[in-house]
Amino acid sequence: ERIAKANGSQCGFCTPGMVMSLYALLRNQPQPSLEDIVEALGGNLCRCTGYRPIVDGCKTFCGASSCCQLNGQEESSVNGEVNGVPELFHEGDLLPQDPTQELIFPPELMLMAESQRPLTQTFCGERITWVSPVTLRELVELKAKHPKAPLVLGNTGVGEALSR
């Protein structure tokens, strides 16, 4: 909710990773500092939104004293702007975090993960076939069968390959 209200998601590709990184941080540290948030999000890649709105949404979990960017200056609010910067969202509109409630992983997702056996996915197109194996053994067998096939993980470097 907080990332969405802070306009921290455009295409949505990075959002699950950002949310799960923040979830893990909050499970271990319910009132993180800004440095904790930046470190927790450090392994995530966002190519369209930019990190500012994502971090702004995450900062709402900080204790007031540990996350201020005003460097000791007082905050002034005029016409929906804070210190001359337009306010993108109002923290008062967010659901409060209840420190007495433990953040739990959704039980329905845990049940779904336990009940479904992972299956290899194969997608065939006109010029290419994509295979997503679920075991290391299957990956090794596929690589032996198709030694020139590239291994594609996040595929964030596709633009580099096209520009060479």
pLDDT tens digit sequence for 67-121: 444 444 445 444 455 566 677 777 877 877 776 777 777 888 888 888 878 889 9
- Exposure string of 125-144, with b = 16+ CB inside 10 Å and e = fewer, is eeeeeeeebeeeeeeeeeee
Is the pLDDT confidence value at 31 over 70? yes
Domain positions in the chain are: 2-68+76-97, 121-155
Instruction: Specify the pLDDT at position 62.
Output: 87
The whole-number pLDDT of residue 140 equals: 96
Residue-level pLDDT at 105: 76
**φ/ψ (deg, to 5) at 155:** 60, 30
Poorest-pLDDT segment among 18-32, 53-67, 103-117: 53-67
Record the tokens describing residue 147, joined without a space: 């030694």
The CATH superfamily holding the domain 2-68+76-97 is [2Fe-2S]-binding domain (1.10.150.120)
Number of neighbouring beta carbons within 10 Å of residue 162: 7
- Measured N-to-C along each axis, helices 34-41 and 15-28 cross at an angle, to the nearest 10 degrees, of 130
pLDDT of residue 66: 42
Q: Which long-range contacts (CB under 8 A, 24 or more apart) does 65-74 make?
A: 66/31, 66/32, 66/33, 66/34, 67/33, 67/34, 69/34
pTM score of the predicted model? 0.54
Confidence of residue 55 (pLDDT cuts 50, 70, 90): very high
Q: How confident is the model at residue 18 (pLDDT cuts 50, 70, 90)?
A: very high
Q: The tokens of 66 are what? A: 């540990």
